[in-house]
Structure 1
Amino acid sequence: MKKVAVILAGCGVYDGAEINEAVLTLLHIAKAGASYECFAPDIEQMHTVNHLTGEEMTPNRNVLVEAARIARGEIKALTELNVDEFDALIVPGGFGAAKNLSDFAVKGADAQVQGDVLTTAKAFVDANKAAGYICIAPAMLPLIYGKGVKTTIGSDAETAAAIEQLGGAHQSCAVNDIVVDQQHKVVTTPAYMLAQSILDADAGIEKLVNKVLELA
């Protein structure tokens, strides 16, 4: 049975992992006959957002503690992830990927990936293992794989331009489709960068999970 490491960025679209994307990812891994384990960096969030009003809240929250809500408590700190125990890596989106896993939301083309995330993601690259990045998470790929990595966040021109400035080769992609970089064994899909419904998000995520497992 193939085993997938899933990195969560918190809990909630505006400040953490996009919950639908995260759950659909876990569902399709299980439906495909594979297993998964969830991880998150044990760090403070960039900020915590009231998802009813869109306003910032205090006190701020911890990414790992919040991500544990999605994982039903079955989650470990990212520093505990051993790449040798997994066949592939998948990172769902949500603003947390651009706020907590990286600072792309603030820095754009000058972004950096959070230390533990970068170490882990590069370990999968160095081990030549497959990976999938969903929604805004693909913005991190040029910083992980280097220049020329094929990626998509859908069709948002401004975001695509920032990814190109970072060195990525952005390709426009429909919500129900994926972009595959065979050389780097990395798969991306737009999900809620384009999705108007949970069905839209589901179509691309199912394809991504199945392709990642195929490449694994």
Structure 2
Amino acid sequence: MLIRGVSLALRLCRFRSSGANPGPRVAVVLSGCGVYDGTEIHEASAVLVHLSRGGAEFQVYAPDITQMHVVDHLKGEPGGESRNVLVESARIARGKILDLARLTAQDHDAVIFPGGFGAAKNLSTFAMDGKDCQVIPDIERVITEFHKAKKPIGLCCIAPVLAAKVLPGVEVTVGHEKDDDGKWPYAGTAAAIVAMGGKHAVSEVDCALVDPENKIVTTPAFMCETKLHHIFDGIGAMVERVLKLTKK
């Protein structure tokens, strides 16, 4: 049974690489490697798995900049070393990564931003400045380009704050707006999104919210303290809707 399954997988791989019926071309933007100072690795992996399963072709990007700081993930404390966002993101991309400066909407049908504190520390200053944050120029450029081209933008976890800051008026979700049961420790992010001029909709972790007018798709992911498969399912819903919006 295992051999037959492998044989089928190889046949499918050859078919996809033959150039027939190419799937959507999706850019995935990372912000480092590790939840506390970069990209949340489980979220990035889930995005790539769902894109692959959905028949999409993807290219990973990250900015060639220095991280805000480096966190010891065992102790949960910042250390004194310095790391580069592009170099660290290459760990997740298995080395197959390009400088964010090379990303253009012209070359892709959609763009997706996994979460992790890197989105709030390296791609923006949200972790320090909240509603008064700044988004780094290349992230602002990419989001604006895809929006103007009417190409879908997917974001999960804390990353929806990037869209809310760059595109005031968009509707996104980071999950719940109150932490009544201890499952939503970052619920206050919803108020910051509204303060930036965005709209926030309450959503469960295994769901995705679509702003059809702006082609923005968001899901809470690790904004919720829950089991990993719920995170995986929510990201799957987000990716599926992004791919549908490409109409490919």
Q: Does 1:158 align with 2:179?
A: no
Partner of 1:53: 75
Partner of 2:165: 143
Partner of 1:97: 119
Q: Secondary structure at the match of 1:5?
A: strand
Kept after mapping to 2: 8 A contact 1:145/1:184: no
Partner of 1:78: 100
Distance 2:156 2:164 in 1: 14
Kept after mapping to 2: 8 A contact 1:15/1:47: yes
Q: Does 1:35 align with 2:57?
A: yes
Q: Kindly state the Cα deviation for residue 195 of structure 1 after the two structures are TM-superposed.
A: 4.3
Q: Which has the higher contact order (CA 8 A, sep 6+)?
A: 1
Q: TM-score, normalised by structure 2?
A: 0.85
Partner of 1:177: 207
Q: Secondary structure at the match of 2:33?
A: coil
Note the aligned Cα RMSD (angstroms).
Answer: 0.9
Kindly provide the amino acid, as one letter, of the partner of residue 212 in structure 2. Q
Partner of 1:201: 231
For the structure 1 residues 28 and 48, does the alpha-carbon distance in structure 2 shift closer, same or farther, using more than 3 Å as the test? same
Task: Give identity over the alignment, percent.
Answer: 48
Q: Which runs of 5+ in 2 are unaligned?
A: 1-22, 178-186
**Aligned pair count?**
215
Partner of 2:34: 12
Q: Kindly state the Cα deviation for residue 208 of structure 1 after the two structures are TM-superposed.
A: 0.3
Q: Does 1:167 align with 2:197?
A: yes
Q: Deviations over 1:181-208 (max 9, x none)?
A: 0000010000000142220110100000
Distance 2:165 2:104 in 1: 21
Distance 2:113 2:225 in 1: 17
Q: Kindly state the Cα deviation for residue 144 of structure 1 after the two structures are TM-superposed.
A: 2.0
Distance 1:197 1:18 in 2: 15
Q: Kindly state the Cα deviation for residue 142 of structure 1 after the two structures are TM-superposed.
A: 2.0
Kept after mapping to 2: 8 A contact 1:191/1:204: yes
Q: Kindly state the Cα deviation for residue 141 of structure 1 after the two structures are TM-superposed.
A: 1.5
Kindly provide the amino acid, as one letter, of the partner of residue 93 in structure 2. A
Q: Which runs of 5+ in 1 are unaligned?
A: none
Kindly provide the amino acid, as one letter, of the partner of residue 57 in structure 2. S
Q: TM-score, normalised by structure 1?
A: 0.97
